Structure 1
Amino acid sequence: MNRLPSRPQLTDVEEYAAAVLDVVRRIPSGRAMTYGLIAEIVGERLGRGGPRQVGSVMAGSGDRYAHLVPDDGGDPDDGGDPEGAGPKGAGPEDADGERVPWWRVVNAAGSPPKQYLTEALDALRAEGCPLSRDGRRVNLRRAVWFPEDDAELAHDVAPEGRTTVVP
């Protein structure tokens, strides 16, 4: 069973961001989660936050997704697609330096961020994620991922920065 690495003391903001990025990193290929669902899960762990806070984490410190950097162009596991179907950026990174699949996080209507709609939908299509009939939103009834499907998410980072197991 994988355990999250022990981390040094984190500020409340860093702790919340780490928890959000941990959930997002675990969303399987071809599936999606909403900002609200992520906020609910992180709220159960940490007792705070909401969809807007999740959006702030995903947006980084500037405009939403402005921190995206050019991808290396080839590894589908890190967000790129050798044939150009994947997103053009690497996305945010979690505390371990792993890229986070930002395109798998959508709003309550299943829509990716407007300014990165094409990149997100291309990546979702490439992963086989079920989309709406018009192809502009994720079909949440078929694509939403609930973490209880993944035993790994039972691991939690305690407020003190220690790794713990949640029953």
Structure 2
Amino acid sequence: MDEETLERVREVVRSIPPGQTLSYGEVAELAGIRSARLVGRVLAEDGHDLPWHRVLRADGRSAPHLAAEQSARLRAEGILMVDGRLPREHRRR
């Protein structure tokens, strides 16, 4: 992946305000790339300094290995997960 793509993804994630979320696909769309999976890869490899917890799967769920920490971070921002999922009314799509 080229540096420009990496930085576009990082900038979109960095711009998500506290108390809001985007899906991996929405981040990809805003960054001008086609792959939601690439967004996940960027966050896994180079997202430690980003608000990665504000990025969820399209169905409003966290990746299983991140669920507890992600839910706690979102709760601290006023976002409550219900049964491990962001309620539909809080999702953009």
Task: Identify whether the pair has TM-score above 0.5, normalized to the shorter chain.
Answer: yes
In 1, distance between residues paired with 2:80 and 2:91? Answer: 6
Percentage of matched positions with identical amino acids: 37
The correspondence for 2:12, drawn from 12, 23, 31, is 23
Residue 53 of structure 1: aligned partner: 38
Which is helix-richer, 1 or 2? 2
Residue 64 of structure 2: aligned partner: 114
- TM-score using structure 1 length: 0.50
The correspondence for 2:29, drawn from 31, 40, 56, is 40
- TM-score using structure 2 length: 0.86
Contact 2:20–2:54 (CA under 8 A) maintained in structure 1: yes
5+ unaligned residues in a row in structure 1: which ranges? 1-11, 61-66, 68-90, 93-98, 145-167
Root mean square deviation of aligned Cα? 1.8
* Shift in Å, 1:140: 4.5
Name the amino acid aligned to 1:42: A
**Computing the radius of gyration over CA atoms, which structure comes out larger, 1 or 2?**
1
* Shift in Å, 1:52: 1.0
Runs of 4+ off more than 2 Å? none
In 1, distance between residues paired with 2:54 and 2:75? Answer: 11
* Shift in Å, 1:17: 1.1
5+ unaligned residues in a row in structure 2: which ranges? none
Contact 2:6–2:42 (CA under 8 A) maintained in structure 1: yes
